[in-house]
Amino acid sequence: MVARIYHFYKWKGIEFYGFVFNFSAVHKKLYFLKNNHRKFFL
């Protein structure tokens, strides 16, 4: 029972960190594109 709960939370934790990692990667990519866009036009 305890092992099952542990595995459930471990899986949820991995899912959460995966989401955070993807979100930060997308955010960095958008920031990079925005900076390049600004340089291109100025």
Query: Can you give the pLDDT of all 42 residues of the chain as single tens digits?
Result: 678 877 777 777 777 778 888 888 888 888 888 887 776 655
Q: Report d(CA 31, CA 21) in Å as an integer.
A: 15
Q: Can you give the pLDDT at residue 1?
A: 67
**37 φ, ψ to 5°?**
-60, -45
Tell me which residue has tokens 């092992």: 3
Q: Give the side-chain half-sphere CA count within 13 A for 15.
A: 6
Report the pLDDT value the prediction gives residue 40, as an integer from 0 to 100: 62
Cα torsion for 24, 26, 31, 36, to the nearest 10°? 140
